Amino acid sequence: MTIQYLEYIKKEFGSQVLEEKRSHNEIYITVRKEAVVKICDFLYHHFDAPLISIFATDDRKKTGCFGIHYVFSGKEDAFIIIRINIDEKDPKFTSVTHKIPAANWYEREIQDMFGLTPKGHPDPRRLMNFEDWADGAHPLRKDFDINTKPPRVKGEYVYRRVEGEGVYEIPVGPVHAGVIEPGHFRFSVAGEPILNLEIRHFYTHKGVEKLFENMSIDKAVFLAERISGDNSVAHVVAFCQAVEKINGINVPLRAKYIRTILMELERLYNHTGDIAGIATDVAFAFGAAHANKLKEQLLQLNEYVTGSRLLRGMNAVGGVRRDIVDKRERILKELSLFRIEFRELMELLFDSPSVSDRIETTGRIYNDIAAGLHVVGPVARASGIDRDVRREHPYAAYHELEFKVPVYKAGDVLARTQVRADEVYESISIIEQALSHLPDSDIKAGVTEIKDGCAFGYTEAPRGETIYWVDISNNRIERCKVRDPSFCNWLAIEYAVLDNIVPDFPIINKSLGLSYSGNDM
């Protein structure tokens, strides 16, 4: 399929194609930067290929220029990466956001981190580097020392303003009650109905991609596992798969099955916790208490299986560190009991008129908005987007197991709750299948040396597709681009709250299940 994409692009834009390279299910096509908008638009609309990431690389020591990569997800497990070169003396490129809205934050991120300006971007304000950050300090350039402390300067972020009689602003955050991380929400309202919402995040940006640079592979495994605490397995497996692809490591089948089981255990406790949060925000105290009890049971099962409530310490490049064969019977027994209790909880939740009144038609994200922003995971599937990385780009043991991808069209809080509930049942089924057919083999392949090269790793985390692009040189990481699902989904909340009232914001927010930590990395 990758060859077909290349042939079409050559046919349409032959003189604009400078170089091509194929590796596994990835095709890299370097084109003239003047043609990138037309080529990206062609892939996006003609092939209906979603734009899943844009990232930059500092290749000045190798090629004398920067590189920008536009990553599209093609059919039949193909990735098409369009690359352009950017001269250091003319650090500008044409924005594609007016053609593909999902490019918005990626281009602003590149502007902040690399100092490459997206010409024609509809919102050129800073995204990650706040206004007191000095001009010219771009952390992901190779000549920026990680220990640098740029001097602070004066500056102020200018928010969008909605004006009119009776319109006023409600600022929420960035510091919130409880233990959640900071994020700012600025509402423009007329009475209680919300006319506009503008979000501002990245208050605790951790510089993770800079930390990856020149880090050994073994240490990088642990860093990937800690980017987003409640999605630890999804992140570390995506990273490991990228390294394994670069090195041609054949992960034992048993290890693939164990990884699949761990990822579904992670999905179970996340979805159950999200449902508990939704019940809390609609004041359904009994349902919230029941869901939280079930989540705690799952966390205790996680600890029994792996020694960690968050399933950490199990994955490594080449497979997994420990077997779980002696845990099989208890896992099956506890999940069987869990299924019964969870079904009772969901019947109670969906049959309660007070709950239905709060979540039905609330916080709608319409299909065209979801598709334009490339919303991912349960949020996307609740808005009619039939996409799941486990099926579109199979990994681990998913291609050997049967499961359904639940899709709803309403795009409201109810639909997002239904998707999660359905996925809970599917996760239990996947785990049961995997445990019943656990193959006899080693659990980890031997890794003698790490080769140079680059590749993608990807998983379907509880929040949606998680993407890693890893570039290795001399046994060290040259570049590691991480794309957490929350980076795709946060902008959708600005649309989900429109025409709703302020008291419904917590329910809408919780139903999206977004992560500050995964976003602010």
Residue 2 has pLDDT above 80, yes or no: no
Window from 407-411, 449-453, 467-471 with minimum mean pLDDT: 449-453
Question: Is 2-119 assigned to CATH 3.90.1010.10?
Answer: no
The backbone region for 166, taken as left when phi is positive above 0, alpha when psi lies in -120 to 50, beta otherwise, is: left
The per-residue pLDDT for range 386-438, each reduced to its tens digit, is 999 999 999 999 999 999 999 999 999 999 999 999 999 999 999 999 999 99
Residue 150 has pLDDT above 90, yes or no: no
- Residue pair 430/437 in contact by the 8 Å Cβ criterion: no
What confidence score (pLDDT) does residue 3 get?
67
What confidence score (pLDDT) does residue 1 get?
58
What confidence score (pLDDT) does residue 215 get?
86
Which whole number is the average pLDDT over 161-174? 91
Cα angle 354-358-363, degrees, rounded to a multiple of 5: 165
Kindly state the percentage of the chain with pLDDT values over 90: 87
Q: CA end-to-end span of the chain, whole Å? A: 34
Q: What phi and psi, each to the nearest 5 degrees, are found at residue 20?
A: -140, 150
Q: What type of residue sits at position 499?
A: D
Q: Please indicate whether residue 5 or residue 390 has the higher confidence score (pLDDT).
A: 390
> DSSP letter string over 458-516?
EEEETTEEEEEEEEEETTEEEEEEEE-HHHHHGGGHHHHTTTSBGGGHHHHHHHHT--H
292-303 core/surface letters (b: 16 or more CB in 10 A; e: else): bebbebbbebbe
Which whole number is the average pLDDT over 23-46? 95
The conformation of residue 397, written as its DSSP 8-state character, comes to: T
Q: Name the nearest CA neighbour of 256 among 339, 340, 318.
A: 318
Residue 63 has pLDDT above 80, yes or no: yes
Label residue 6 by pLDDT band (50, 70, 90).
Answer: confident
Superfamily of domain 208-519: Cytochrome-c3 Hydrogenase, chain B (1.10.645.10)
Window from 57-61, 177-181, 417-421 with minimum mean pLDDT: 177-181
Residue 176 has pLDDT above 90, yes or no: no
Upstream peptide bond of 252 is cis (omega within 30 degrees of 0): no
The per-residue pLDDT for range 274-331, each reduced to its tens digit, is 999 999 999 999 999 999 999 999 999 999 999 999 999 999 999 999 999 999 999 9
Residue 100 has pLDDT above 90, yes or no: yes
What confidence score (pLDDT) does residue 27 get?
95
What confidence score (pLDDT) does residue 475 get?
87
Q: What type of residue sits at position 473?
A: S
Residue 130 has pLDDT above 80, yes or no: yes
* Burial class of residue 312, CB neighbours in 10 A (0-12, 13-18, 19+): middle
- Residue pair 246/454 in contact by the 8 Å Cβ criterion: yes
What confidence score (pLDDT) does residue 7 get?
86
Q: What type of residue sits at position 173?
A: G
Upstream peptide bond of 174 is cis (omega within 30 degrees of 0): yes
- Residue pair 227/443 in contact by the 8 Å Cβ criterion: no
What residues contact 45, with CB distance under 8 A and at least 6 apart? none
The full set of domain ranges for the chain reads: 2-119, 167-200, 208-519
